[in-house]
Amino acid sequence: MDLRILNEFRSIVGNGGLICSPEELHTYECDGLTNFRVLPRAVLLPSSTAQVQSIVRLCHRERIPFVARGSGTGLSGGALPVANGIVLSLARMNRIREVDIPNARVVVEPGVINLDVTGRVQSQDYFYAPDPSSQSVCSIGGNVAENAGGAHCLKYGFTTTHVLGLEVVLPDGSLVHLGGKTLDTPGYDLVGVFVGSEGTLGVATKIILRIVKRPECVRALLAAFPTTNEAGAAVSGIIAAGMLPAAIEMMDKLAIQAAEAAVHANYPDCGGLLLVELDGPLGEVEALMTQVDEICRSNGAWEIRVAQSEAERALVWKGRKAAFAAVGRISPNYIVQDGVIPRTALPQVMGEIARLSRENGLRVANVFHAGDGNLHPLVLYDRRIHGQEDAALALSFKILEVCIAAGGSITGEHGVGEEKKCMMSKMFAEPDLATMQRVRCAFDPLQLSNPTKVFPTPRLCGEKPGEYLPHPVESAGLAERS
């Protein structure tokens, strides 16, 4: 990137908004997935939509790829820079623009931290429902890109359920407004397409969120089972009884040991731990909690604790929320994977994971959002042992193949990013991916917005897979493709 362009960038964001010295750029060379690293040519820190537009227009004119970045907590390498490209950090666009309690809407800039949305509305007894484990640091813009989930999306839905409108700078620098504060605005649901598109369709500069009234009461129950199979059977029992808990989380023996070592959550030492949270009107929750208790006992739970106070509930969650980091206590290195299976396939998939673990001589700890079948297998390894990192990576992908074979998905909330794009062709057929690619080309014909992510082999827009076959109308000379 020549000096002329750097100077042009500088004229947009000022000296303080441009980072281009190699030592400072290292901060941005990766996101939460640290085994991929690329140094960007520059990092820009715009503070307004107009600045984002100017930057993107310049990128468009000069054909410079750009990667938008929130807090950099992503776990699939979605914010990994592109060589010869720039990083657009939205950290300075962190204002809450509007709080509208009667309509339960909050309008934010992309750099606003997830938990700060709840912080702004909790005095009125509202909250922002999506709660990824990183919610105290991750940004709403990043949540939108990844369609972030969390433990409570079983009942409340994902980021996409809570985004009503977007202001987006398209990859040619033009500004569009998708959706709005009201529902069902005329046109295609492009908000639905944009959320979860991992930064490949443009840059969101304003986000209209829906907030939720806090339920009257919340109760959490902890149940200890001999193995995850019995715990899984209890989950099926709860669902079959027609209940929709706010969250159902499960941990296996290794994950429990790690959590105990790290935060002393005082979890029972067992083979499968279930955490069930119910919320709603008091009478309703109490009636259902009794039933959950019975279902757990009849499926072999030997210890059940119900958190009676908010403090007890926080303690119950403490071990679960710390689980990923806690694994660092029992292993020097580990890979966090993110697969999804139909809930009923749980015992079979757990068996497969155990078999793969044995065959590969690597330990796997399991933490799941059991209610929606979202598994987070943690593959433990030691980087210092030659070949073990590759073996661990290979094992984590084999687990994803097991998920696909069970009718599931390669990612429930972390995104495809850089890490799993090679798995996309195992989950989707060529026509499926080609169709998604067509949508991408409608937004970004030059493929400048996070160009190397999500899809296995980036194709140019207009290029068709396989042999090119002219449309009969073209052959007849009646029309030509634009």
Partner 1 sequence: MTPISATLQNNLRAVLSADQIRPASPADSICGVQPQFLIEPATEQQLATALRLADESQLAVIPRGGASKLGWGNAPSRADLLLSTARLSRIVEHAWGDLTVTVEAGCTIETLQQTLAEHGQRLAIDPLWPEKATVGGVLSSNDSGALRLRFGALRDLIIGVTIALADGTLASSGGKVVKNVAGYDLPKLVTGALGTLGVITRAVFRLHPLPRHSRSFTISVSNPREAQQIILAIQDSKLAHVALQSQFSAEALPVIDILFEGTEAGLDAQASQLRGFCKSAKSSLAQVHPEPRTVTNAKASSSPSPWNAREDLWSFSNPAENAIAKISVLPADLARTVELIRTVAEPSRVNWKLLLYATGLGWLRGEGPAGNLHRALTTLRAELEKMGGSLAVLHRPANMQAFDAWGSPGDSLPLLKAVKTRLDPWSTLNPGRFVGGI
Strand partners, 67: 87
Question: 40 vs 150, which CB is nearer to partner 1?
Answer: 150
Question: 57 vs 214, which CB is nearer to partner 1?
Answer: 214
- Residue 89 CB, shortest distance to partner 1, in Å, is 23
Q: Under a CB-based contact definition with an 8 Å cutoff, are residues 195 and 144 in contact?
A: yes
Q: Could you tell me the two tokens for 47?
A: 């503070």
Q: In angstroms, rounded to a whole number, what is the distance separating the alpha carbons of residues 184 and 167? A: 16
- Residue 197 CB, shortest distance to partner 1, in Å, is 6
- Residue 295 CB, shortest distance to partner 1, in Å, is 14
For the four alpha carbons of 276, 278, 282 and 286, in that order, the dihedral sign comes to: negative
- Residue 395 CB, shortest distance to partner 1, in Å, is 20
- Residue 294 CB, shortest distance to partner 1, in Å, is 14
- Residue 79 CB, shortest distance to partner 1, in Å, is 15
Q: Distances from the Cα of 208 to the Cαs of 37, 159, 168, 179, in angstroms?
A: 33, 11, 12, 9
- Residue 170 CB, shortest distance to partner 1, in Å, is 7
Question: 41 vs 376, which CB is nearer to partner 1?
Answer: 376
Question: 64 vs 340, which CB is nearer to partner 1?
Answer: 340
- Residue 283 CB, shortest distance to partner 1, in Å, is 4
Question: 182 vs 457, which CB is nearer to partner 1?
Answer: 182
Residue 167's φ and ψ, nearest 5 degrees, are -105, 125
Contacts of 311 (CB under 8 A, 6+ apart): none
- For the beta sheet containing 66-69, the strands, ordered from the edge strand earlier in sequence to the opposite edge, are 18-19, 42-44, 86-89, 66-69
- Residue 330 CB, shortest distance to partner 1, in Å, is 27
Question: 17 vs 280, which CB is nearer to partner 1?
Answer: 280
Question: 268 vs 456, which CB is nearer to partner 1?
Answer: 456
Residue from 377, 288, 437, 314 nearest 75 by CA? 377
Q: In angstroms, rounded to a whole number, what is the distance separating the alpha carbons of residues 468 and 471? A: 9
Question: 17 vs 417, which CB is nearer to partner 1?
Answer: 417
Give Rg (Cα) of the chain: 24
- Residue 261 CB, shortest distance to partner 1, in Å, is 29
Q: In angstroms, rounded to a whole number, what is the distance separating the alpha carbons of residues 142 and 373? A: 23
Question: 2 vs 467, which CB is nearer to partner 1?
Answer: 467
- Residue 148 CB, shortest distance to partner 1, in Å, is 9
Question: 47 vs 374, which CB is nearer to partner 1?
Answer: 374
Question: 83 vs 473, which CB is nearer to partner 1?
Answer: 473
